[in-house]
Amino acid sequence: MDRVALRGLKARGHHGVFPREREDGQTFLVDIVLGLDTRPAAADDDLAKTVHYGIVAEEVVAVVEGEPVNLVETLAERIAQVCLKHEGVEEVEVCVHKPDAPITVPFDDVTVTIIRSRA
């Protein structure tokens, strides 16, 4: 299976369990890796036979900017489901970064990574 990756999609969301997270919002970063067969697109040099990653990127950002959820796990699942709606995408790996998570000790990043497939 071939891979198309988008890394570092950035959007502001209001996700989290604490009131401050819901009110103020914070930046989330998303990496996605789409699994699909790119051979038909390559053979015909035809965008219609592959995934349009620009559209996927817009849809992922819309999910992050959309309806708030408590858990990063829920956000990752919603993003995965949006990606799997694209014809030809057989699996997706989603990594959601929450670099401004409310943690009381020094840290670089918090991530949740999930892998989902049509099967």
98 flagged as catalytic = yes
| Three-state SS letters, the chain | CEEEEEEEEEEEECCCCCHHHHHHCEEEEEEEEEEECCHHHHHHCCHHHCCCHHHHHHHHHHHHHCCCCCCHHHHHHHHHHHHHCCCCCCEEEEEEECCCCCCCCCCCCCEEEEEEECC
**Structure tokens belonging to residue 35:** 């699994």
Would you name the residues annotated as active-site residues?
98
